[in-house]
Structure formats: C-alpha cells, structure tokens
Amino acid sequence: MAVLLAVQVGALDDPVAPYASVAITTAFGTALAARTGGRPGVTGGLCLVLGSVAVAVGPPLLVAGVAAITGVVTAVLAVMLTVPAAGFRGVVREVVIAVLVAATGALGVAGYAADVSRERLSYTVLALALALALALVFRLGAGLHGLGRRGFVILAGGLVAVTITLAYAEALRNYASPGLLEAFETFVARVEARLGGVPQPIEIGLGFPALAWGVAMRARRRQGWWVCAFGVAATSTVATSLATSELTHATLSLLYSLPAGLLVGYAVIRLDLFVTGPRGRRARQLEEASAHRPEPQRTEALL
C-alpha cells in the first residue's frame, strides 16, 4: 500500500503533492501508533489536522515542522516494521523493506516543499527519530536492566557515533577554514560528477549495519531492538533525501550506500557469531535453524 501510494505521489503535479504528503503523514502516523501499541485513531487524526492546516494556511514554520514530523515518523516506522531474521538473506529482505518505507516517506517530506535549511532538516529528523526509537525500544527491549554489559557498550557506542557524526559535520560547516571547506566541497563535487551521487558515510558506517545486525540479533534475543534503534541513522537520511537533493542524486546515493552498508553489517554479524556463537560450520547451521525468537507479525502490534 505504501509503495503504491509513493508511485501515485511521484506522478502527481506539484499543486496536488502537498495534499498527498498529508495522506502519507496520516497513514504513517496511524501505522506507527498501531505497530507500537498506541492509539492509531488519535495519532492519525492529529497528523491529519496538522498536515491539513500546514498545507491550507502555510506558515513556513508549521510546514517545516510537519515535514520534520513526517521524516521522524517515517524513519521510526521503517525500523519498527522489520521482523527478526536468522539468516542473512532474511536480513537483506528486512533492510530493503525498511528502505522502501523510508523512500515512500521521503516523497511525503519532499511534497511539503518546506522552506528550511537542508542540513538543519536532516539533523533534526535524525536526532528526534533516534530519541523516539530509543524511547520505544526501552519498552520493547525490556528496559535498561535487560541490556547487560555488552548491551550497554553497544548503546553507548551508538550514541557516541551519532554524536560525533553530527558534531563533526556541524563543526566542519561552521568552523572549518575556508581552504579546508573548499577542498572538501571540491572533493564531494568531483565524486558526485563522476558517480552521479555521493555514498552517505552515516548510512554505511552506522545506519544499515545497525539495522542488519539488530534484525539478526532479534532472532536470538530481544536486546537486538537496542541495536535496531540506530538503524534510524539510515532510514532518517533516506526519509529526508528528496528534500535535500534531486531524485537522481538521492537514488544513486542510496544505491551506493545500501550494498556497502549491508556488507559492513554482514561482517559485524559474522564477527558477533564468531565471538558468541558455536564453533564449526554444522554447529552454526544448527544454531541459525533454531534462532527463531517469536515476535508479532509485521501487521500486528509489538506491544
């Protein structure tokens, strides 16, 4: 349904696109509430009212706020709709599904045509999506007491990685010397001119690997939700991609980032199983066959 809606939005003329964006905001807000055990009617109604007022009245601040809300809801919903997968083929399937959901939401974010800084929109959506995802995972992952030492290391490492990424990007943009900034922009422009898009480091180094590893870990223990939460580093970037760049650039950037991120995720999963799993090929196959921790189906509430 979401994919079909995305195709329709992409075919609409500009005057109609904001209203289609309201439909996406409402549908995704309702779906997220239903998936996380909230109140779908209330959440969906609130999204509908906010989106409709933003489109009808059009104050820039409200439009930007609704666009950011759409990005946040999209990023978190894309992660929450995944299900556990013991094998890597299943992991790839879940990551692709999350990307499709995020890409659908990207059309909704872009449809509002918010007059806001591209960097500010991306950073805001990432920060709010991570906060919301961690708040939801706190309930899904049995709270902080269920983390254990290894889980605390993962949580702290993920937070540090996100903080460093955002701080470095902001420092580079505001405090770097003109020469360094020009050299960086020249390098990015050359990569974009040659490849047509720019691979996103936060997607490759954190977002997609965290989502892949978390999906695999959830098949064995529910603490995998804590790892999945950092998957919003990828889904939030995808959700805001069409608001910050053209369609061709955003598509190519995703096509470069997704396989590389999955490759990193595969390496992390194999390393995790090597350290914590059984030794021997047959033992690993038996462990994978038995790794089926029950979770609600994709269309059911998690709580």
The pLDDT mean for the chain works out to: 83
Could you report how far apart the first and last alpha carbons of the chain are, in Å?
Answer: 23
**Residue 303 domain flag:** no
Question: Would residue 296 count as lying in a domain?
Answer: no
For residue 204, give the nearest of 135, 262, 270 by alpha carbon: 262
- pLDDT tens for 21-58 read 999 999 999 999 999 989 999 999 999 999 999 999 87
Say if 254 falls within a structural domain: yes
| Residue among 169, 256, 155 at smallest CA distance from 214 | 155
Phi-psi region of 142 (alpha: psi -120 to 50; beta: other; left: phi over 0): left
Confidence class for position 185, pLDDT limits 50, 70, 90:
low
**Residue 300, domain member (yes or no):** no
Is residue 298 assigned to a domain?
A: no
The answer to whether residues 26 and 44 touch, using CB atoms and an 8 Å cutoff, is yes
Q: Domain count for the chain, please give it.
A: 1
Q: Does any domain span residue 202?
A: yes
The dihedral through the CA atoms of 172, 174, 180, 186 has a sign that is positive
Reported pTM:
0.87
DSSP per-residue codes, 145-188: GGTHHHHHHHHHHHHHHHHHHHHHHHHHHHHS-HHHHHHHHHHH
- pLDDT (tens digit, 9 = 90+) per residue, 85-144? 988 999 999 999 999 999 999 999 998 988 888 888 998 999 999 999 999 988 775 566
In a domain, 295, yes or no: no
Q: Which structural domain range is residue 130 located in?
A: 2-290
Residue that the structure tokens 């995305």 belong to: 6
For residue 129, how many C-alpha atoms fall within 13 Å in the half-sphere facing its CB? 37
Tell whether 106 is covered by a domain.
yes
Question: At how many degrees (to 10) do helices 148-175 and 118-140 cross?
Answer: 170
